[in-house]
Structures are given as C-alpha cells and as structure tokens.
Amino acid sequence: MKKRSHIFASIRETFSRRREPGYMNMFADVFWDALLLLGIVVVLCAWVVGGMEFLSVLNELNQGAPAQQEVPLPLNTQQLTSILEAIQARQSAFQSAVSQPAQPDPYDPAISVPQK
Amino acid sequence: MKNHIVYIAWIALIIALLAWCEAGYFVYRSFSREADRAAALSLLSDTVAQNHREAQIQSAVASTADDRAVLQAFTQVDPVALASLIKASGTSIGDEIDLGNAVPQPRSSKSVLDAFSFTAQAQGSFASLMRVLNILETLPAPASVQDMNLSVVPEMGGPTLWNLQVQIRVFTSSSISS
C-alpha cells in the first residue's frame, strides 16, 4: 500500500514538474511507455477477438449448413392413396350390391310387428 | 536540429494516427464483411430450402397426376347422372326407387366442395329394401346416408310391405348453383 501511494506520488510530482528539464525526460519516458503499453494491449485484444471470430467461422464451416426444419407438404400422397383405396372399395361394394342375386326373406321383423 | 526532430515527431504522430485509423477501418470492414457473409449464408440456406421444397412439391404433383385425376372424377358428381344411376340400380334389383326433395346444402367454411341432399324412397319386402339401402350406402360418389326411416305399410292380407325413406347427402366439385 505504501509502495503504491509512493508510485502515484512520484507520478503526480513528475506531471506537476513536467516543464522542468530534469523531469521532462522522465515524463516523456513514462508517457511513451504508457503509449506502448496501451498499443500492446490494443493489439493483444485485436488478436484475441480476431482469433475467436476466426475460430467461430471455422466451426460454422465445419458444421455445414444448418438443418432445415421439415415442413409437411400440402399434398399428402399416403392420404391420397388411402382415399383412392377407399373409393375403389366403395365402388366394388356398389357393384357387388347391384349384381348380387336376391336373397330370401327369412328375417323379416314385420312378423313380430303388430298390425294396425 | 531541434526543429528537425520536432518535425519528425509530428510526422511520426500523423503516421501513427493514420495507422490507427486504418486499423479501426480494417476492424470495421472485417465486422461488416462478417455480417454480409452471415446474411448471404442465411439467404443461401433459405433459397436451398425453398428450392428443395418446390422440387418435392413438383415431384409429388407429377407422381400423383393419375391419382388426382381419379379423385377429381370421383368428386365431380353430376346430380342428374347420379339420380339415373340410382334408379337404374333399383331397377336392376327389381325395386323402384323414387327420388325427390333435392336441395343444395350450405357449404361449411372448411369444405372446398358443394353439397346437396335428396330423399330416396322405395317400397318392397324387407330383404329388397335392405338391398336398396346397401346400394344407397355404397353409391360410387362422396355421399352418405344422413337419415333413414323404415316402416311397415299397413295392408290387408298378402305379404308384408315395407316403406324405406332415406335422406342422402352428396358432396360435389361441380357447380350446383344453377
């Protein structure tokens, strides 16, 4: 804690006496070092961000196109086929009903219906 | 000498500022290109999906042309032809089927077909009327029996006669407004 306050005190003193020849050189060095440090930090950040973006693009390319959600077609061929089969069965039943010979009438329920 | 160093410092500062501007512009361009690439990829994906779907639909339409023609012929019911068919069917089994009360039915909001209903009436033995009913239930048309009334005809002597009255609803893609 003491060391840090000493550093800030030195910086404040250097900045306040920056016009003096003895401190001007030191202030220029500190300013230049700070600029270098800032530049290095910016370049490092750019590298990190750029690398992450590059890796994300590589991952996207490796994963390929995203899977499309299957949307059902408006025309259901299975349903159409089943309907046609039902139509065919109905036509066969009609032909059978028309062409079958007349049956005797053994189960006429009128036998038990009271006549008026 | 001192002025010379100051000039060099100013030139170096300007070059440094220009370099930083160029770096910022490069970052901006990179993100802009990335956004464009993502948009182009999304558009390409949508286009591929749409083309795939259109190809599926065209394939389904082409492969079901005959089936759809059969279905269209089945639903294209001519009321007069259907009445003739019912009467001829009744005649072929020895019963006379009377038709009447043909009225158009209101179309439901979900239906794409028009509908009409009519009443069929026949008299005969119980077995013959069951055959008539069987015929009416299996008409080769999108029709269904809505109501049925079977009653004994009061008669003096002789075999028992039955009266059959059936209301049938028929769907059709033909126009029945006229």
Could you tell me what percent of chain A has a pLDDT over 90? 22
Report which residue type is found at B171: F
Partner-chain contact A53 B61, CB within 8 Å: no
Once rounded to an integer, what is the mean pLDDT over residues B133-146? Answer: 92
Look up residue A37 and give its two tokens: 């440090």
**Greater pLDDT, A65 or A86:** A86
Selecting from B60, B126, B131 the residue whose C-beta is nearest the C-beta of A75 gives B60
> Is A67 touching B (CB cutoff 8 A)?
no
Once rounded to an integer, what is the mean pLDDT over residues B62-91? Answer: 90
Partner-chain contact B126 A104, CB within 8 Å: no
Q: What is the pLDDT of residues B90-119, one digit of tens each?
A: 888 888 999 998 898 888 778 888 899 999
Report which residue type is found at B116: F
Task: Give B-chain residues touching A87 at CB under 8 angstroms.
Answer: 70-71, 74, 140
Once rounded to an integer, what is the mean pLDDT over residues B34-56? Answer: 90
Could you give the CA distance from residue B106 to residue B116 in angstroms, rounded to a whole number? 8
Q: Are B168 and B139 in contact (CB under 8 A)?
A: yes
User: What are the strands of the beta sheet with B161-172, ordered from one edge?
Assistant: B98-105, B114-124, B161-172, B143-153
Cβ atoms within 10 Å, residue B89: 22
Once rounded to an integer, what is the mean pLDDT over residues B72-78? Answer: 90
Selecting from A94, A103, A109 the residue whose C-beta is nearest the C-beta of B138 gives A94
Partner-chain contact A71 B162, CB within 8 Å: no
Asked if this assembly's ipTM is beyond 0.85, the reply is no
Question: Model confidence at B167, in pLDDT bands (50, 70, 90)?
Answer: very high
pLDDT at residue A105 above 90? no
